Structure 1
Amino acid sequence: MRRTGSVMFVVGPLLLVLALPHDLPGVPFRAEGVVDWLGFMWLALFLYLLLALVVGEAARPLLHRLPAAVDAPREPVLSRRVFVSRVVGGGAAAVALGTVGFGAYGVLRGPRVKRITVPLAKLPRSAHGFRIAVVSDLHLGPLLGRGFAQHVVDTINSTQPDLIAVVGDLVDGSVQDLGPAVAPLAQLRARHGSFFVTGNHEYLYDARRWIDVVRDLGVHPLENALVELPGFDLAGVNDVEGKRQEQGPDFARALGDRDRSRTAVLLAHQPRMIDEAVEHGVDLQLSGHTHGGQLWPGPYVAELVMPTVAGLHRYGDTQLYVTRGAGAWGPPVRVGAPSDITVIELASRQA
C-alpha cells in the first residue's frame, strides 16, 4: 500500500504537468485524453485527501480515547498511535475517493435544468414569459466530447426555449481535433434562434476559426453586436481575453446606438464585465465563467475575484445572472457546485 501511494505521489504530478497544456506535441488526441484524465483526477484526489487528512488530524485527540484494536487473537495489541493513524489514513482515503467519484458522476451525467424568473421593468407585456436557455462552459475537449455535447443539446431542446444563449468557453482544443465534438450544436432549436459569445478559452485555440465553425452550425455569433428581438434587444460582447488579439469587448459598438427605452439583455462570458453593462444601461447580463467554484471550497475563493459566483444579483438597475456552466475544466469533477443549464423566464411588470 505504501509503495502504491509513493508511486501515485510521484507519477501523479508528472501526469498533471502533461495534462495542463492540452495540446501535447506529437501526442494523438485520444492519448491526450488518457493523460488528462489521469493527471486531473490525481489533482482532485490529492485535494480531497489533503482536506480529509486535515479534518482527521483535528479529530485525532478524540480517536486516542477509543479502545485499541486487535488484529487477531494471537497477535499483539496495536498501539493507540498505530490504530489511530490507520483510522485517520483509511478514513481520509475513503472520503477522498467517495467525494471525487460522486463529483465525477455529476459531471458525466450531464447538467440539470434550473429555472428562474427575472422581472424586468421595461419589458413590454408582449414579451412576458419569453424563455432563454442559458448554457456556458461546456469545455469540450479530450475529456468531454461529442457524446457530452449531444446530451447537452438534447437537454436544452427538451426545455423548448424561445432563444438559446451559449455564453462562452465552448471548447478546449483546436478545430481540427474538436470539429466533430461540436457538431451536435447544429441540432439546437429555438423559435428566435441560438446565439454565441466567446469565452476566454476560445482565444487559446484560434477564436476566429471557432467563431466561423459555430456560425456554420447555425448558431449566431454576437461579436460586439446587437440584434433587435420582439420586446427587447439582445447584445453580445467578446471576452476580455480577446484584447490580447485585438478582439476584445467593445460595449460602445454593441450598445452605444440602441434605444434605451427598450429592455437590453447582454451576453458576456465573465461576470466582472458587469460594471460596463451598468454604465451602458443593460437590464440583464447573462454570464458563466466561474463554474460556481467547481470544487469546494472553490466558491469561497471565486468570491474574492468575481462580483457574482452563481445565481441572480442586482447591481443598481442592472441584474446579473451567472450560470454554473454545463461542463468542467481540469478535473472532470464538481463538488458543491452542480452543473446546470438555466432557463430564464423574462417577466414584464406590466403583465
Structure 2
Amino acid sequence: MVIVFVLAGLAAVATLVGLHWYVWRRLVRDTTAGPGLVRRVGTVVFVALPVMMIAALVAERTGAPFWLQRTLAWPGFLWLAVFIYLGLSLIAGEAVRPLLRRFLDRRTAAGAAVPPVPLRKTETVPAVSSEPQEQPTETPATPSTPDPGASPRPLSAPSRRLFVARVVAGTAATVAAGTVGYGTYGVLRGPRVKRVTVPLAKLPRGAHGFRIAVVSDIHLGPVLGRGFAQKVVDTINSTQPDLIAVVGDLVDGSVKDLGPAAAPLAQLRARHGAFFVTGNHEYFSGAEQWIEEVRRLGLHPLENARVELPAFDLAGVNDLAGESEGQGPDFAKALGDRDTSRASVLLAHQPVQIHDAVEHGVDLQLSGHTHGGQLWPGNFIADLANPTLAGLERYGDTQLYVSRGAGAWGPPTRVGAPSDITVVELASTA
C-alpha cells in the first residue's frame, strides 16, 4: 500500500512538473529570441510560483504558523487558478498556430517586395591629370524593381515562429488574467442571494412560506477573513429568514487562528435561530473545538441530532469525514423514533448522503460541498463525484437542494460557478 501511495505521488509530481514545463516553454522560451534577462526572469517566476503554490497547500494542511499561511496563500493559490487557465488557453492555441502561420505565409506571398534602395553617393576615383577635375555629383540610386517572374521574399522562419508564439502567448496570458481577475472579484464582493421554492406535502398550511437561509462552504482561512464573514452575515440577515442553516465547511484553520474571523457569526438573526452541521474541512481544523466555538457564538450544532420545530422536524448529521475520528453520521440517532407524519428537513454537508436520507424518509435535504465545481471545467469532475452538483433535484419522495457555497477553497476564485446564499421557501401543498 505504501508503494502505491509513493508511486501515485511521484506520478502527480511528474505530471505537475511536465505541465509547468509546457506552459513555461510556450509562454517564456518560445517568446524570447534567445537567452537574456527576460527569459531568466520568466524562468525564476515559473519556479517560484509553483513552489509557493505547493507550500501554501502544505502549510494549510499541517497547521503552519498563521502568518506563514497568509504569506503563501495569496500568491500560491492565485497561481493555481492562473496556471489552470494559462494551460487551457495555450492548449487551445495549439490549434490556432498552424492557421496563423498559413495566414502569414499567404500575406507575405501576396504583398512582399524588396524595399527601394535609398539615395547614395557615386564613388569617384581621383584621376591623374593636369586638367581640372570635375566635382563629384550626387546621383539618385536606381530603385530595384521586382522581377515579375521571381517569388517574393517571405518572412524568415525564425521571425515568423517568434511572432506566432508571441501572439498566442499574449492572448493566453490576457485570457487567463481576465478570467481569474473577474472570478476573484466575484468571490471577494460576497455571495449573491438566490431564492428557490420547495413544496412539501406534509408541511402545514400555517408554515407556508417558511424561509430557510442556507449557507455552506464559507471557508474562512488565510485568504477569506473577518471582512468576508461580515459580508456573509449581513447578506443573510438582509433576507430576514425564519431559520438559518450553516451546512458545513465554515473554516480552514484552528479556532486559535480563525476565531476572530468567525466572530461576526454572533450577529446572525432568525426567528427560529441558526443551526450548524460539520463539513469535511471542520475535521481538518479541529471539529470539536469549532463545535464549541459556534455554540459560543449563538449557533446550535446538530451532531446527529434533531429538534422539533412547530411546523417540521429539523435534523442534522455529521460529515462523512468524521468517521475517521469516530464521529461519522448517524442517521438512526438523528431521525429514529420520530413522527413520520411530520415534515422533515435534514442538514447534511455532502450530497452523497442523500441515499441514507431517502431510506429514513426525509422530505428535504440541504447540502453544500460541491462549490458547483468552483473552477470550470472542474464542474464536470464534481458532477461525476456527486449525485447533484447544484440546485434542486428529487430522489424518490425526498428532495435534495445543493448550494454552490458562499466562499471558495484554495484560490479565492470562481469561474462558471458563482457563489450564493440560498433562501429556501417551503410551500405547503395541503
> TM-score normalised to the size of structure 1?
0.95
Q: Distance in 1 between matches of 2:255 and 2:391?
A: 32
Q: Does 1:35 align with 2:72?
A: yes
What CA deviation, in whole Å up to 9, does each residue of 1:280-332 have, x standing for no partner? 00010000001000000011011111101111111111110000000000111
Contact 1:16/1:40 (8 A) holds in 2: yes
The answer to which of 112-121 and 24-33 deviates more is 24-33
Which secondary structure does the structure 2 equivalent of 1:330 belong to? coil
Give the counterpart of 2:424 among 325, 340, 344: 344
Which secondary structure does the structure 2 equivalent of 1:341 belong to? strand
In structure 2, relative to structure 1, the CA distance for the partners of 1:27 and 1:21 (3 Å cut) is closer
Q: Which residue of 1 aligns with 2:223?
A: 143
What CA deviation, in whole Å up to 9, does each residue of 1:134-189 have, x standing for no partner? 00001101100000000100000000000000000000001110110110000000
Q: Which residue of 2 aligns with 1:268?
A: 348
Which secondary structure does the structure 2 equivalent of 1:164 belong to? strand
Offset at residue 8 of structure 1 (A): 2.0
Give the counterpart of 1:54 among 58, 70, 91: 91
Offset at residue 10 of structure 1 (A): 0.8
Offset at residue 5 of structure 1 (A): 2.5
Q: Which residue of 1 aligns with 2:330?
A: 250
Give the AA of the match of 2:194: K
Q: Distance in 2 between matches of 1:112 and 1:232?
A: 27
Q: Which residue of 2 aligns with 1:65?
A: 102
The answer to which of 54-63 and 108-117 deviates more is 54-63
What CA deviation, in whole Å up to 9, does each residue of 1:69-128 have, x standing for no partner? 99xx99x95633222111111100111111111111111111100001111111110110
Q: Distance in 2 between matches of 1:272 and 1:327?
A: 21
Offset at residue 65 of structure 1 (A): 3.3
Offset at residue 26 of structure 1 (A): 9.3
In structure 2, runs of 5+ residues without a counterpart are 1-37, 109-114, 117-153
In structure 2, relative to structure 1, the CA distance for the partners of 1:318 and 1:9 (3 Å cut) is same
Offset at residue 15 of structure 1 (A): 0.7
Give the AA of the match of 1:240: L
Q: Distance in 2 between matches of 1:294 and 1:286?
A: 19
The answer to which of 42-51 and 21-30 deviates more is 21-30
Offset at residue 340 of structure 1 (A): 0.4
Give the AA of the match of 1:345: E
Give the % identical residues. Answer: 72
Q: Distance in 2 between matches of 1:59 and 1:192?
A: 58
Q: Distance in 2 between matches of 1:283 and 1:216?
A: 30
Q: Does 1:116 align with 2:230?
A: no
Q: Which residue of 1 aligns with 2:46?
A: 9
Q: Distance in 1 between matches of 2:86 and 2:285?
A: 33
What CA deviation, in whole Å up to 9, does each residue of 1:247-281 have, x standing for no partner? 11000000011111111100000000000000000
Give the AA of the match of 1:16: M
Give the counterpart of 1:175 among 223, 235, 255: 255
The answer to which of 16-25 and 319-328 deviates more is 16-25
The answer to which of 77-86 and 222-231 deviates more is 77-86
Contact 2:291/2:301 (8 A) holds in 1: yes
Q: Which residue of 2 aligns with 1:184?
A: 264
Q: Which residue of 2 aligns with 1:211?
A: 291
> TM-score normalised to the size of structure 2?
0.78
The answer to which of 30-39 and 279-288 deviates more is 30-39
Q: Does 1:165 align with 2:165?
A: no
Of the two structures, which has the highest relative contact order with CA contacts closer than 8 Å and spacing of 6 or more? 1
Give the AA of the match of 1:270: Q
Q: Distance in 2 between matches of 1:315 and 1:16?
A: 40
RMSD: 1.9
Q: How many residues align?
A: 347
| Larger-Rg structure | 2
Contact 1:24/1:32 (8 A) holds in 2: no
Q: Does 1:89 align with 2:89?
A: no
Give the AA of the match of 1:144: L
Q: Which residue of 2 aligns with 1:233?
A: 313
Which secondary structure does the structure 1 equivalent of 2:281 belong to? helix
Offset at residue 61 of structure 1 (A): 2.5
Give the AA of the match of 2:205: R
Offset at residue 59 of structure 1 (A): 1.8
What CA deviation, in whole Å up to 9, does each residue of 1:321-348 have, x standing for no partner? 0000000001111000000000000011
Contact 1:110/1:152 (8 A) holds in 2: yes
In structure 1, runs of 5+ residues without a counterpart are none
Contact 2:60/2:252 (8 A) holds in 1: no
Contact 1:18/1:24 (8 A) holds in 2: no
Give the AA of the match of 1:305: A
Q: Distance in 1 between matches of 2:42 and 2:424?
A: 47
Contact 1:22/1:172 (8 A) holds in 2: no
Give the AA of the match of 1:97: A
Contact 1:292/1:324 (8 A) holds in 2: yes
Contact 1:22/1:173 (8 A) holds in 2: no
Give the AA of the match of 1:41: L
Contact 2:194/2:421 (8 A) holds in 1: yes
Q: Distance in 2 between matches of 1:129 and 1:17?
A: 47
Offset at residue 18 of structure 1 (A): 1.1
Offset at residue 205 of structure 1 (A): 1.6
